[in-house]
Structure 1
Amino acid sequence: MSKRDFYEVLGLGKDASTEDIKKAYRKMARQYHPDVNKAADAEAKFKEVKEAYDVLSDDQKRAVYDQYGHVDPNQGGFGGGGFEGADFGGFGDIFDMFFGGGGRRSNPNAPKRGADLQYTMTIEFKEAVFGKEMDIQIPRTETCDDCSGSGAKRGTKPETCSVCKGTGQQEVVQNTAFGRIVNRRVCSTCNGQGKIVKEKCATCHGSGKLKKQRNIHLKIPAGVDDGAQLRVSGEGEAGTRGGPPGDLYVVIRVKSHEFFEREGDDIYCEVPLTFAQVALGDEIEVPTLTGKVKLKIPAGTQTGTYFRLKGKGVPRLRGYGQGDQHVKAVVVTPSNLSEEQKELLKEFAQQSGEHTHEKNQSFFDRMKKAFLGE
């Protein structure tokens, strides 16, 4: 049976680049590898794919193949010998290449950065506006002082694992009809650490770490808002094998205020005013974040009118200056009027041409007729 064209086997054209050939081989070898694919023809297809790759990935062999095809005039052809004695490498060798590992493995004894921590705290409205310095208690894992994180009893050291020789991995080699298969797995003797602690530290019991309450001085900047997150570098969990600690992230929750509301860097509030104040005008005192200020209410002010107090808002967290305070005028309708007050209001309404209760009644009668046809 004649052999298929090597380019056809890999699904490529003759102008394929070296990288194209490598990518195609990775994809198809992973698909037909005997360790993965249990189909009856998987072995034959894997053999065909590997033979095509062996030739096309070598510039000299490829050049000869492009000129003469499957018949190599110097070596008697490209057939047959590409598979025998091949080392499939199990999941530890060839699959490393599939997933970009290139056969390289991480050092189990390399320093490892500690985990980050998150802490949520609640502060008062004005503390968020003006900032605050305070101490907080954070439970976290720290390096054991007695063994300096090694986990070994004071005066001793961890020993290199005799099984994996410090690599943290074991190799199991199997000779099969398809070639030599090498599987790598985590060393069961040292659990992938590469070292064994024979005499454990009495303080941390061999873990190299301890749970402690850490006192941290925190500076809350002026202008911080609800939901803000502050990063405190190096105050997270301790690293492993001399690695740096993680970071601490403090999430800020701000309590609401009984009088003020905040939108960004601006403050909003409402002030109650009487009918006389808005009709005649007045000068009132308005609370701000820094104390009371005087505000002029012009005659004829309508309820819902906003007045702006420039620079009386929240300090800008990322910039200069402050926001503003917006004061909303709310006219309060008097209740429990005396008879004298009622008469005065009626007289005022008549003189100003406003509808009295009787006139309003006729207006509602007209509305009722319009909508109900009465």
Structure 2
Amino acid sequence: MRPRPRRSFVVLALLCALAALGGPPTLSQGAEGPEASARVARLFEEASAATQHYEAGRRAARVQKGEARRMERLLVRERSEITVLHNDLGRIARAQYRTGGDLPLTAQMLLADEPEELMRGQHAVWQADLALNNAVSKSRRAEKKLAEGQREAAAQWHALQERNVQLAQLKKSITRKLEQAQWELQGDADRSVAAGRCRGAVRLEQRDLRPTRAWVPPVKTYTLSAGFDSAGERWAHRHTGQDFAVGIGTPVRAAGDGRVTRVSCGGAFGIEVVVRHRGGYYTQYAHLAAVTVDQGQKVRAGQWVGQSGTTGNSTGPHLHFEVRLTPYLGSGVDPVTWFAERGVRL
């Protein structure tokens, strides 16, 4: 009999991950900050948490389904072996019948030429019969355990599938709310730019500010779009920075420690923040929907300086990021190369 297969540790780990994933951290805003900014930031974190739950559930369901299939294969094999054992018993019974198995043993001994040889053969038959009966009993017990394990694995898979459907619905609901809040935030930003009046810094509580490196990309998750020195119809000469394709309201981070030297909301860059770093370098964060710092404020690597948007000369939501030798346009260097020199690969 085979021992009952152990539960996959991967399944247990994923189930624990599902239970351990908590809700998103809370965010707060100052009285001067618009509600849309805080709502977008909160929904971004809720969407991230919902996605983590959903993806963990999908992984757990995939592993659990594989476990159910594995148990089913073992069950089929065990049943096949039981069939073989039954056939063996049938062959023994037929052999006994052909060699006088229908006569009592005492009669067979009286008729046999060599009774001692008959006894030894009969003893061997008894032992074989007993061994096969024991093997059949053990295999049946193994089959029962495997069947129970297969049912349990299948039930857990179905439960995970139902949970994933609920998580998918939650994720969809959060995404819908996030899209609405994003465009409310962008609308507020557009009105500020049109009026030529920069709003004050939005005060958002950043719970995950744990800088472990001196330099970090300006956004956590992104797709690189227009690169440095590339051509485009919307630029008078060449592109002066690196674009990061991100959604409206995405938290924008300071690339490194420094001080905010400019916060403005007019012109081609729309709402922008410029930070001066050690070594004389400046970084610019443009086309924002909101800022979270004040001019003159010190910032740390990874600290939020704003929320991405599509203000100014912009065709869609993204972050325009520049590295400059001076605070002014025209002194830019390639951000990809600049980051690579500091151990950050974009």
**Shared fold, TM over 0.5:** no
- What is the TM-score of this pair, normalised by structure 2? 0.21
Larger strand share, 1 or 2: 1
Q: Comparing both chains, which one has the higher relative contact order based on Cα–Cα distances under 8 Å and sequence gaps of 6 or more? A: 2
Larger helix share, 1 or 2: 2
Larger Rg: 1
